[in-house]
Structure 1
């Protein structure tokens, strides 16, 4: 496949030194270094996958590296998010990642966006890397990249399973595919590293392959994973390649609403338990909403005092939860105008993890 970036007229001596172990590769040469020097790459997420992606792209000699992430560094991140140290705890991930990238190559314009992904940030980039590991973000990023005509490098790592592919609606020679072809039917994004765990080294493997896909797309050296999905099993460290083809247009879902520009407010289970106690005493006022299915309610019960969404008074402050979080995030996004909405972090799964009390059925509001 042809390179997606035209080469810069020249590359500095520092850039040539930086690429001195890359340029000897067949097909790269000085022209490949100059293509990298002209490339503008957007990375969504600076966590388990984004860390190795940013670390490798920082040394690639890019024109611009934009990093989008609304979160701050947490101690639990340090085992797999290798960009960060204990001294970074509490600092915005995107900002720390941009600082690390600038330290490797001061010529790269490293841009930190400390906010949730919004489709408008895709503009002005040649390739986008989706390292957020969130179905909601991936669907929005896939739609935004399709509209902009730029390729999307996608990866996922959860438990012992990782996947990598490339989506590109404007790919030549009938090779166009996007995330909707892999997952034509919407599904809940209920998995998370916090609840299900992840093999730390798997993040490094998947993230490294993702960075390699950027190199392939920009330089034209090698074959990108366009129309192919590679699955990595961290139990055996074996890989499987599966073909991916464009699906029927009739099955392609409509684009999702624009994601919020600000991260969703969250509350830990212990903090919610404390607020519920204050509410019982008349010292706090909010509505607790359960957006799970009836079958889920019957299986686990509900957080005491929770109501169904149709019982929420207009304008009331809301704390909302689902099984693990993504459906609650979507409800908060759709219903956040004119009210304060907070999501229970980890959902009912996190609430039950420490044997907190439950009720058989929701209240009436």
Structure 2
């Protein structure tokens, strides 16, 4: 095991009440008061207060980190509560940064500074946002955000603890452009150029407790980096499979992208590139279902009696005379069905469409589970 030097200096000694609170840390071999004092002086920014950010923030606050920044532009929705454990039903429609900040302050009780950044991090603001922090924990849910974080952190020489969850699977690693001993490696070194956005938990689902497992692992990596204890996941990709509860380790060596990338640019094991505020994108456009059409088109001659269910964010253009109904994914999950869909015979065909063929796959799964036997997800919504 090779530890890295501590990322954070001892900025001031621990107060007696903080020593009492951290007693179980102080008993750890190789940890002790000095490591705890480094945590107390640490400044960590977490990207996303969702599925991964929630457990990461909670454990970092509980561990004794002195300053936590939270970056998120979203509000709390009921469908978040299955995994985003910082928020509760009473927080619906509140800014996630505010909800998370209140929960963390209540949890810690004192000695914690929380900085809310209610905005979406992008290439125009990333460097300014990260400046002044010691470490960034990236639990974001889009490739655009991940690459913006990576580029800004690389320019600042700042370590990134990164994670993602999609479906049953997760990944964790540490990126650091200024790592000592020739160990520098960044997110693009492994995953290559920025790809188009892909699947997310909104389109294929995510197991809530898997977010807890991966988010907790992010907090562990952050604590080790800040204090110079343990062996951080720099140069390693940790791959989690909730189906088996197994963690596998894949060694990485920049810039050998082939270490984890498959032909065509898709991600490595289980194709788990994504998170959502920790659960997010995981690949390219899906293949068209047999007999329906290719991405970008839908056969003009639809089966007799077909119902087109449009779950896109924009209305689809459908052949004239086609029976089409607009539906919301979360409403479908709740069993709140448009009348035309509820009245559609269970053995009659349904074709589900959306802009990019991603949401339609999730909707097709929901409709099949609700009892329809002939459901086909189509490609993007340009229907000819």
On whether the aligned pair clears a TM of 0.5, the verdict is yes
Name the CA distance, whole Å, in 2 between partners of 1:51 and 1:221: 24
Conserved in 1, the CA contact under 8 Å of 2:69 and 2:117? yes
Name the CA distance, whole Å, in 1 between partners of 2:61 and 2:378: 48
Conserved in 1, the CA contact under 8 Å of 2:198 and 2:358? no
Cα deviations by residue, 1:106-157 (Å, 9 ceiling, x for unpaired): 2111011111114121000000000113222111101110011110000000
Name the CA distance, whole Å, in 2 between partners of 1:226 and 1:160: 23
Name the CA distance, whole Å, in 2 between partners of 1:88 and 1:183: 36
Q: State which of 147, 159, 163 in structure 2 corresponds to 1:139.
A: 147
2:78 paired residue number? 75
Q: State which of 103, 110, 126 in structure 1 corresponds to 2:114.
A: 110
Cα deviations by residue, 1:50-101 (Å, 9 ceiling, x for unpaired): 1100110111222210001111111111111111111111111111111112
2:327 paired residue number? none
1:223 paired residue number? 231
2:325 paired residue number? none
Name the CA distance, whole Å, in 2 between partners of 1:346 and 1:17: 55
| 1:17 correspondence with 2:20 | yes
Secondary structure (helix, strand or coil) at the match of 2:217 reads helix
Name the CA distance, whole Å, in 1 between partners of 2:359 and 2:317: 17
Conserved in 2, the CA contact under 8 Å of 1:18 and 1:60? no
| 1:298 correspondence with 2:307 | no
Secondary structure (helix, strand or coil) at the match of 1:103 reads helix
Name the CA distance, whole Å, in 1 between partners of 2:382 and 2:184: 48
1:57 paired residue number? 60
- Aligned residues: CA RMSD: 2.9
Cα deviation, residue 351, structure 1: 6.1
Conserved in 1, the CA contact under 8 Å of 2:354 and 2:379? no
Distance of aligned partners of 1:34 and 1:192 in 2 relative to their CA distance in 1, 3 Å threshold: same
Distance of aligned partners of 1:232 and 1:21 in 2 relative to their CA distance in 1, 3 Å threshold: same
Distance of aligned partners of 1:117 and 1:358 in 2 relative to their CA distance in 1, 3 Å threshold: closer
Conserved in 2, the CA contact under 8 Å of 1:95 and 1:113? no
Distance of aligned partners of 1:66 and 1:346 in 2 relative to their CA distance in 1, 3 Å threshold: farther
Cα deviations by residue, 1:203-232 (Å, 9 ceiling, x for unpaired): 000000000001000111101000000000
Aligned length: 284
Cα deviation, residue 104, structure 1: 2.5
- Segments of 5+ residues of structure 1 without an aligned counterpart are 250-292, 307-343
Name the CA distance, whole Å, in 2 between partners of 1:98 and 1:133: 20
Name the CA distance, whole Å, in 1 between partners of 2:299 and 2:214: 35
- Segments of 5+ residues of structure 2 without an aligned counterpart are 258-287, 301-309, 319-352, 368-374
| 1:350 correspondence with 2:359 | yes
